Chain A
């Protein structure tokens, strides 16, 4: 995982541990809630950054995997009274199956068919959430989803959920960092560099791309399940195309060539609406503009900003000297 990443993980873990202790400022509980959402969204964007930054593919349907996790959990626990610990793996299983079904054919093709396939698939799932009223209660959604509990301990406060979600998120972060620096990660980077070259060296490009796509889908499904248990309510709009696009935005804005960028993006875009309240619905204008400018002028995202500034500085100093 590398020394720098290890320090990074430790620093993040320390911050997560300490953050709730400084509950001195106003609306602390509100910020705790937002931090839970940052963790949930971060799980999805970390997987997505594997797919985008390392496999060079884009998915416009990850909200659907998030939704599959959320709805599977919700339906199994609230409607059929099954244990959450049965529902969570069920959601992961369904997402895996769907991801394989969508990923295998579209990733066999060269190029970016996955983008459109996932876009179409995401819309279909969204329509099913709305229309299959017998199971999903339609556009209104349904509540009464129980909190998670473990050996008699119920995660029934925001703080407990905060630690739970971030514990899982940090485990995922460690997992993703290991994938990046493993055989799979190296294979993916070689595909990104030159698919033909990688294939000539015996790398099965399509297989690795499907693997990463499935991993990212399962990560989204886990996040979705946790979301359902935290909010205790699911309804379709949360899992719409716009959320899929927002996830892509987070990855790009944070920096898609780094897992840390994906977390930064998730944090930034989850907090941003808090600061952009005055824009009301017109915040999508701001989103569009930020996304456009970052893609055009900062291809490594915000996480790459210090490096770019540093290089500028060195160059400027070189000209003067």
Chain B
């Protein structure tokens, strides 16, 4: 029984890592623009599918295919912002929500056009020999997922706290007008936030594809769970996103294993609704912060 529980926990942490990555993507765009990007899950889906194409169809080695796939999705993020968000004059939140929904449908349609409807598999980065772990087994790919997630969080924190561009982006989050008064190009920061968030999403998709396969219509559910993680951890907070992601992953995996596997997706969503209703600032968020936000 303990072995089984450990197994569920490991699965939960792996799943949770991906939710955390999606949640980080939400937070980056939200912080810079106050947009909730409903197309966030599509970045994850695209990352996985581009990687499959580069590795299996074009035969690129993994270390090369990874950055190329990330770059491809980053380009998609850039195009989204330039073509659909940038041209808008003074859009309301409702308009922005609808625009990102339209973008997600469009990307999904294009992906179906390009890759078809079947799920694709990707070979694991470093073999598929299970590692025994306290009566449970750990797949090497799960280590990759969890490890890379943690590295990404550290890198992001360093980026936002130590680099001048990162600081400029955070400044936009606090007060857009004040930021532009001190010479920060707010428009450019918005563009960067879309690119960064797309790159992150792509990395998440690439990591998870060897475990859970990837197909064109996976984006919506991933986006919803990632948003759940962002809300649970407190919208806008990076460490909250990671904690929220892990929590959601654990609830889902333990719930599926111990209660009923058919309701696996529902449990994470019930948690999302509960937090939204009981403590909308998130389990780790502060109420003052959530009050000033527009969304």
What's the dominant secondary structure at chain A's contact region? Answer: helix
Interface string of B258-295 (1 = CB under 8 A from A): 00101101100110110011101000000000010111
Residues of B within 8 A of A56 (CB): 92, 94
Instruction: Judge whether A81 is part of the interface by a CB distance below 8 angstroms.
Output: no
Closest to A133 in B: B262
B276 contact set on A, CB distance < 8 A: 105-106, 113, 116-117, 120
Q: Does B87 contact A124, Cβ atoms closer than 8 Å?
A: no
Interface-side segment among B5-13, B101-109, B126-134, B192-200: B101-109
Query: Are B94 and A117 within 8 A (Cβ)?
Result: no
- The range of chain A's interface size is 35 or more
B165 near A: Cβ within 8 Å? Answer: no
Task: Let me know if B101 and A117 touch, CB within 8 A.
Answer: no
User: B98, A295: Cβ atoms under 8 Å?
Assistant: yes
Task: Judge whether A58 and B273 touch: CB under 8 Å.
Answer: no
A282 to B117, CA, bound (A): 11
In the complex, the number of residue pairs spanning A and B with C-beta atoms less than 8 Å apart equals 119
Q: Is the CB of B84 within 8 A of A120?
A: no
**How many residues in B have their beta carbons less than 8 Å from beta carbons of A?**
47
Q: Which residues of A contact B270 (CB under 8 A)?
A: 124
Shortest distance between the CB of A308 and any CB in chain B (Å)? 15
Interface residue B36 (Cβ < 8 Å from any Cβ of A): yes
Q: Which residues of B contact A120 (CB under 8 A)?
A: 224, 228, 269, 272-273, 276
Q: Is the CB of B227 closer than 8 A to any CB of chain A?
A: yes
Given contacts A128-B266, A285-B113, contact A112 B98 (CB under 8 A): no
How far apart are the CA atoms of A321 and B102 in the complex, in Å?
41
Contacts of A124 in B (CB 8 A): 266, 269-270, 273
**Does B93 make an interface contact (CB < 8 A)?**
yes
- Does A52 reach chain B (CB closer than 8 Å)? yes
A307 at the interface (CB under 8 A from B): no
Q: Tell me, yes or no, whether B51 is within 8 Å of chain A by CB.
A: no
CB distance from B263 to the nearest CB of A (A): 6
- Least CB distance from B108 to A in Å reads 7
Given contacts A113-B280, A127-B266, A288-B109, whether A296 and B88 have CB atoms under 8 Å apart is: yes
* A58 & B97 in contact (Cβ 8 Å cutoff): yes
User: Are B105 and A291 in touch, CB under 8 angstroms?
Assistant: yes
* List of B residues within 8 angstroms of A276 by Cβ: none
| Contacts A117-B276, A295-B95 given; does A131 touch B105 at CB 8 Å | no
Answer whether A248 and B277 are a contact pair too, CB < 8 Å, given A127-B262, A288-B106: no
* CA of A121 to CA of B101, assembled, Å: 17
What's the least CB distance linking B110 to chain A, in Å? Answer: 7
A52–B94 touching, CB < 8 Å: yes
> Is the beta-carbon distance between A112 and B109 smaller than 8 angstroms?
no
A281 located at the interface, meaning its Cβ lies under 8 Å from any Cβ of chain B in the complex:
yes
Given pairs A105-B280, A116-B272, A116-B276, 16 additional interface contacts (CB within 8 A): A52-B94, A56-B92, A58-B98, A60-B101, A105-B276, A112-B94, A116-B36, A119-B224, A121-B273, A131-B263, A245-B105, A287-B105, A288-B109, A289-B106, A295-B95, A296-B99
- In the assembled complex, 7 residue pairs joining A and B whose CB atoms fall closer than 8 Å, in A order, are A112-B36, A115-B97, A120-B224, A124-B273, A291-B105, A292-B103, A299-B95
Which 9 pairs from chain A and chain B are nearest by CB? A288-B106, A285-B109, A288-B105, A105-B277, A292-B102, A291-B102, A131-B262, A120-B269, A284-B109
Give chain B's interface residues, CB within 8 Å of chain A: 36, 84, 87-88, 92-95, 97-99, 101-110, 112-113, 117, 220-221, 224, 227-228, 231, 260, 262-263, 265-266, 269-270, 272-273, 276-278, 280, 291, 293-295
Q: Which residues does A use to contact B, with CB under 8 Å? A: 52, 56-58, 60, 102, 105-106, 109-113, 115-117, 119-121, 123-124, 127-128, 130-131, 241, 245, 248, 252, 281-282, 284-285, 287-289, 291-292, 295-296, 299
